[in-house]
Amino acid sequence: MIVLNGGSSSGKSGIARCLQAVLPQAWLAIGVDTLIDVMPARLRLGSEGIGFAGDGEVSVGAEFRMLEDAWMAGVASMVRAGARVIVDDVFLGGVESRRRWEKALDGLGVVWVGVRCDAAVAAGRELSRGDRVAGMAEAQAELVHRGMRYDVEVDSAKSEAVECARVIAARVAWLSATE
């Protein structure tokens, strides 16, 4: 399993697609955006779900957390059943977000990847996407990496997605060879 952590518009989804192309086996790519997209609309607006403030701040409520825990357990079950999975997530809760994934993935081989991107570059990407609240990318660029330790880090502002994917794939191959 590969877990990509980075702020909004940092390039995680593009890197995940490139990883699917450069890794020799078939890998599923699953992002937190998919989880949000399949939630009922009321959870994308209310205090119990996930909220997006005008300044880009993101808040999450108890019902969102419960569904997110179930989603994490489901992803872990797919890996335990033999699927190779790339998760693209935004660790808004910092180290606590990673702990929640570690709990769900207990006993599984995981490559933890930090996807860094200069806040100004991410903000430009956010603007061109048009599907994000302005300010999210800048607010999250460093926040999601505080206190984190990774197996590998890439910088999507300095390298194309495919080059980032090759760096990650080399680390995956190295870890697989040492197990």
- Rounded to an integer, what is the distance from CA 86 to the centroid of its chain? 9
Binding residues for ATP: 6-13
Q: Which of 7, 33, 4, 24 is nearest to 16 (CA)?
A: 4
For tokens 């040492």, the residue is 178
Our separate counts of H helices and E strands in the chain read: 7, 7
Say whether 163 sits in a helix, a strand or coil.
Answer: helix
| Distance of alpha carbon 71 from alpha carbon 169, whole angstroms | 25
33 is annotated as an active-site residue: yes
Q: What are the CA-CA distances from residue 88 to residues 1, 4, 13, 15, 19 (Å)?
A: 11, 5, 6, 9, 12
Q: Which residues are catalytic?
A: 33
